[in-house]
Structure 1
Amino acid sequence: MKTKIKKYRNNFIHNIIKEDLKKNKYLLLHTRFPPEPNGYLHIGHAKSICLNFELANLYNGYCNLRFDDTNPLKENIKYINSIKNDIKWLGYKWNKKIYYTSEYFEQLYKYAKELIKKDLAYVDQLTKEQIREYRGTLVTSGKNSPYRNRNIEENLKLFKEMKKGYFNEGEACLRAKIDMSSPYIIMRDPVLYRIICTKHHQTKDQWCIYPMYDFAHCISDSIEGITHSFCTLEFQDNKRLYNWILENTSVLNRPKQYEFARLNLKYSILSKRKIKTLIEKKIVNSWDDPRIQTISGLRRKGYTASSIRKFCEKIGVTKQNNLIEFSMLEYCIRNELNEKAIRTMAVLEPIKLYLYNIDDKYEEIFTVPNHPKKPELGTHEIIFTNTIYIEKEDFKEEYEKDYKRLKLGEEIRLRYSYIIKAEKIEKDKNGNITQIICFCDLNTLGKKSINKKKPAVIHWISIKNSFSSEFRLYEKLFNTHNPEQEKNFLSFLNPNSMIIKNGFIEKKISEKIQKKINKMKTKNINLFFQFERVGYFCIDLIDSKKNKLIFNRTVSLRDTWNKKKEKNN
């Protein structure tokens, strides 16, 4: 896929590339997306994916997918598979094969020995806690390790012994010998290798020492011929170490690192560590829970790949951190679904309505459009009978002046159908309304009411045309606009982040879905609906079955969340 998104032509990174290409007309842009396979991708990763792949497409270059698999303690093959699926789903194709940092372990080991031979690295036997203590703080300098002045031969011997498994985890590590008094903590003899006695998903039991991210990343970039290495602002100081390693080893290529602002999204957690906490504490069900902003969670909720790409285009690429409005993400999907979603009716909290002046055997079929402005999307039939369901909230027993729906003694129009008038109600012994009794004016189909006041319109479903379904209504998972900044972020959970309703959809629509459900699950293709006056929904392809359809609300018809927040404040 070679999309040409204009937004990627108008940012500082584009200007850097343009200048580099001017200086070297033979330069072929080569980017990479290097995720750690320790969790699912989220909307923040989508920003990086779009940036790297779009720029490569724009300049007819290449973008590698490389898994930064240097920590087998946290990695899993299921994360690798989910990441590959997400990138494909977003519409991008990586260059040639999939790359793994673990492919370069032998070369990385040789470069580490090269640093030792140059007296630029040493084996340290301080504990993790001691290393942290010796490193100092932002206001105090660090101090040298007592093992820092070992000679080259001894360091080479100890490093080989680390590789052979002669040390236990935590007993030794390899550190760069730079400057313990550097104002940049990253340059105070950073750890390059540590011991991890765990089977690796790619190299199995071949290694028990693993390179740190900062050591492996720049050399992997060099080996693959990456020209521009893009990362987020938190790696700005790491660039010093990135360049130091490239300058002090015999690598052939010298990629350049550039930083941009990461995505921060209101009401959202984008830290994989914190998402794992949400899953472990069973606050959300899994990595693809629609309440979290993983790509798979958004997909399950009903977001499309094009809406996510559009969102990444709209927020742009800058060097300034800011907090993006969640409503912007919702705007992108709402705009798209407004154009493509099939209009149909669903009743989420049903209450029975009986039209007493219509015969029990009476049945009328109306042909209604699937989209009022898109005739090419076709039509479907709805059935009208004397017993129907309407939404519970569409009726008020007590008179309220500003209430614009059905109330006793007042008229209202049924969508695509007749004007009705509520005359009385029936209740059970507990005082709950069991049925609303109404008069139906059969002379009002497609005609105005004889009253001057135009009646409101409500949706409905005939009992004969109803299919029982479950509806999951999602709201923001957090009540605070920036939960990432909260020390105890779990105390800001929204208790109403998911509300389940049991109601009905049109039976004729359900029959079409049931015929396609297995194929949809296999190909991960969804159908999108606008349940009139309710919101945009899709089918939950994980939990739905032929005899039990479950619908996830993707987004409301309007931005109701921010209005609620403003009202409460």
Structure 2
Amino acid sequence: MSNDKNNVPAPANAPSPNFLRAIVENDLAAGTHVRAGLPPVITRFPPEPNGYLHVGHAKSIHVNFGLARDYGGRCHLRFDDTNPEKEDTEYVDTIKDSVKWLGFDWEQDGQSHLYFASDYFEQLYTMAEYLITSGHAYVDSQSAEDMARNRGNFGTPGTNSPFRDRPAAESLALFRAMRAGQFKDGEHILRAKISEDGMASPNMNMRDPAIYRIRHAHHHRTGDAWCIYPMYDYTHPISDALENITHSVCTLEFQDHRPFYDWLLATLAEGGFFKQPVPRQYEFARLNTTYVVTSKRKLRQLVEEGIVSGWDDPRMPTLVGLRRRGFTPDSIKLFCDRTGTSKSDGWIDMSVLEGALRDDLDPKAPRATAVLRPLKLIIDNFPADLSVPCSCPVHPHFPERGERTFPITRELWIEQEDFMEVPSKGYFRFYPPIGDAPGSRVRLRHGYVAECVGYDKDADGKVSAVHVKYFEDSKSGTEGSNAYKVKGNIHWVSAATALEAEVRLYDRLFLDPHPDAGGKDFKTALNPAALEVVTAYLEPGMSAAEPEQRFQFERHGYFVADRVDSAPGKPVFNRVTTLKDSWGK
């Protein structure tokens, strides 16, 4: 399908328009990136493999892979692995898994477009030598303290390094000696020499930025072949150009870095390394979500201090944590669509993500009955050896999905909150006889109407069992049931056949919507009720639940069989989210 006016390919799934799509469509109409053998749109997602991806990264993945998908292009997955002290293959593997879990792929027409910045180390080095010989870079031998002091600040120009006018031949010799391992970490650094104004630029990123530093560290891919490593701002634009990226889409914090991006590629194009048009950088607002922290340092602190069980703890905002919690790829992509793509920063409430999850799961998730806080209910006049089958739809809105069956027996489990010794006003569940008035009548959902006749207490004075009598002609679905008009309707499971299961009730990890804003200690905002583990009773068919299979536990919310701890016939369930947003209410 195409737009007849300008013959621009229309997005396959007609997504909502935004400024990035307008840029791409204008470039397509103008033929800006028509190159033999290459698609007209090539984007990239370039994470550093030094941690686990979080929900904010999902937006960047969605934007970059989505643009390529919708405009007949391709998206590269490129690892920015230029900092060997923090990077590891563990992070490479989990990032690849997370991107694929979200439903995106870097393979196209049988060809993989998986790249590493370390693939380009030799080319990056060659270009750095060119910058030195052409007068666009120099080796600075100041101490780190002097460099920081001479950099100035946003209101004060910096001071040129005393080594800024070092002869190119001398800088080149020093740079080669740096590569050869003749210096210690920090003894020298290679800096770009952008303009005659030097350190006077109002943009701090243009004040002779560092482009190479010495690091005697083992690299996860190149081993000990290098002891100098390029900086991100230097590596990123060159990697884009080497991969023929057309639209380098990143978040707004890189907006002030764009002048250096443009200067570097223009300078290298003048040197014959690249042809025009070179890639262009475009920025959009990052995804800022309330009630989470996304700093890798702080997330690592949560893991290392044992506040959470690991990077995939279901309370974590990491994609592996969201996956284990029970979030679906479609719900996260729906969330990204709903939050939009703009150039204005803002905060998105966590309830928007939870709402997207409910909207995704409601038509998909089969229903099930679960009693999370069990209280024994005994039907005194129900024969001890009798078991009567009951049934209800797998999904109330899709009868074609069939029925699920479970028995009603003399002893059942009900929720503790479905009985009160002294009922409050408007309470329509079980309560005992009061004076001359009989106990309440309640329908046991999909079963019989029962009337409360009494209750038992244990030695501590806690209610241990509720006693009722049932009416044999009141079974749901029979003609006799119409004669019983009751206001209460509660769920239950048979004590004889119920599946006993561990259920983990997860909630938000922080009580403060901005737990680390303004320099606050984020750990003081931890939610002590972010995890509660209960022993619950579920309808017997739930023993067949498979890891990552999601259900709506009627009345309680959406749950998933834990992908790590569930075993055949013995699933462990995580609460993904409640049936409606009740946070803070």
Does 1:73 find its partner at 2:85?
Answer: yes
Distance in 2 between residues matched to 1:273 and 1:541, nearest whole Å: 26
Distance in 2 between residues matched to 1:284 and 1:333, nearest whole Å: 23
Does 1:330 find its partner at 2:354?
Answer: yes
Q: What are the equivalent positions in structure 2 for 1:1-80 lying under 5 Å apart?
A: 4-8=12-16, 10-24=17-31, 27=34, 28-80=40-92
The AA in structure 2 aligned to 1:464 is A
1:450 Cα offset (Å): 5.0
Distance in 2 between residues matched to 1:401 and 1:319, nearest whole Å: 52
Contact 1:302/1:528 (8 A) holds in 2 = yes
Distance in 2 between residues matched to 1:165 and 1:3, nearest whole Å: 51
1:449 Cα offset (Å): 6.7
2:409 alignment partner, one of 385, 400, 423: 385
Match of 2:203 in 1: 184
Does 1:432 find its partner at 2:462?
Answer: yes
Does 1:414 find its partner at 2:444?
Answer: yes
1:287 Cα offset (Å): 1.3
Contact 1:419/1:444 (8 A) holds in 2 = yes
Contact 2:11/2:71 (8 A) holds in 1 = no
Match of 1:256 in 2: 280
Distance in 2 between residues matched to 1:187 and 1:436, nearest whole Å: 75
The AA in structure 2 aligned to 1:540 is D
Does 1:155 find its partner at 2:171?
Answer: yes
Q: Secondary structure at the match of 2:135?
A: coil
Q: What are the equivalent positions in structure 2 for 1:325-404 lying under 5 Å apart?
A: 325-404=349-428
Distance in 1 between residues matched to 2:29 and 2:381, nearest whole Å: 81
Greater shift in the superposed pair: 318-327 or 146-155:
146-155
TM-score by length of 1: 0.94
Q: What are the equivalent positions in structure 2 for 1:378-527 lying under 5 Å apart?
A: 378-408=402-432, 409-446=439-476, 447-448=480-481, 450=483, 454-487=486-519, 488-510=521-543, 512-513=544-545, 517=546, 520=547, 526-527=548-549
Q: What do the CA deviations read for 1:356-399 (whole angstroms, capped 9, x no partner)?
A: 01111111111321111112322221011010001112211122
1:102 Cα offset (Å): 0.3
Q: What do the CA deviations read for 1:453-483 (whole angstroms, capped 9, x no partner)?
A: x322111110111111111111111111122
Distance in 1 between residues matched to 2:282 and 2:565, nearest whole Å: 43
The AA in structure 1 aligned to 2:120 is Y
1:129 Cα offset (Å): 2.7
Does 1:226 find its partner at 2:226?
Answer: no
Match of 1:543 in 2: 565
1:279 Cα offset (Å): 1.1
Distance in 1 between residues matched to 2:11 and 2:85, nearest whole Å: 37
Distance in 1 between residues matched to 2:460 and 2:55, nearest whole Å: 48
1:5 Cα offset (Å): 4.0
Match of 1:212 in 2: 231
Q: Secondary structure at the match of 1:549?
A: coil
Q: What do the CA deviations read for 1:299-356 (whole angstroms, capped 9, x no partner)?
A: 1111111111111111110000111121111111111211111111111111111010
Contact 2:315/2:321 (8 A) holds in 1 = yes
1:103 Cα offset (Å): 0.4
Contact 2:312/2:321 (8 A) holds in 1 = yes
Distance in 1 between residues matched to 2:291 and 2:165, nearest whole Å: 50
The AA in structure 1 aligned to 2:246 is T
1:3 Cα offset (Å): 8.5
1:7 Cα offset (Å): 3.0
Contact 1:399/1:407 (8 A) holds in 2 = yes
1:319 and 1:137, CA in 2 relative to 1: closer, same or farther beyond 3 A? same
TM-score by length of 2: 0.91
Match of 1:132 in 2: 148
1:486 Cα offset (Å): 4.2
Distance in 2 between residues matched to 1:17 and 1:529, nearest whole Å: 40
Match of 1:89 in 2: 101
Match of 2:215 in 1: 196
The AA in structure 1 aligned to 2:210 is V
1:505 Cα offset (Å): 1.2
The AA in structure 2 aligned to 1:429 is A
Match of 1:110 in 2: 126
Contact 1:4/1:54 (8 A) holds in 2 = no
Does 1:246 find its partner at 2:254?
Answer: no
1:7 and 1:482, CA in 2 relative to 1: closer, same or farther beyond 3 A? farther
1:45 and 1:115, CA in 2 relative to 1: closer, same or farther beyond 3 A? same
Distance in 2 between residues matched to 1:536 and 1:193, nearest whole Å: 50
The AA in structure 1 aligned to 2:146 is Q
1:86 Cα offset (Å): 1.1
Match of 1:523 in 2: none
Q: Secondary structure at the match of 1:192?
A: strand
Greater shift in the superposed pair: 334-343 or 24-33:
24-33
Contact 1:449/1:455 (8 A) holds in 2 = no
1:141 and 1:430, CA in 2 relative to 1: closer, same or farther beyond 3 A? same
1:546 Cα offset (Å): 3.0
Distance in 2 between residues matched to 1:228 and 1:330, nearest whole Å: 31
1:4 and 1:40, CA in 2 relative to 1: closer, same or farther beyond 3 A? farther
Q: Secondary structure at the match of 2:213?
A: strand
Distance in 2 between residues matched to 1:3 and 1:550, nearest whole Å: 41
Q: What do the CA deviations read for 1:216-271 (whole angstroms, capped 9, x no partner)?
A: 00000000000110010000010011111112223314100000000001111122
Unaligned runs of 5+ in 1: 521-525
Q: Secondary structure at the match of 1:248?
A: helix
1:68 Cα offset (Å): 0.5
Q: Secondary structure at the match of 2:43?
A: strand
Contact 2:474/2:484 (8 A) holds in 1 = no
Distance in 2 between residues matched to 1:252 and 1:338, nearest whole Å: 51
Identity of aligned residues (%): 44
Contact 2:383/2:410 (8 A) holds in 1 = yes
Q: Secondary structure at the match of 2:575?
A: strand
1:247 and 1:290, CA in 2 relative to 1: closer, same or farther beyond 3 A? same
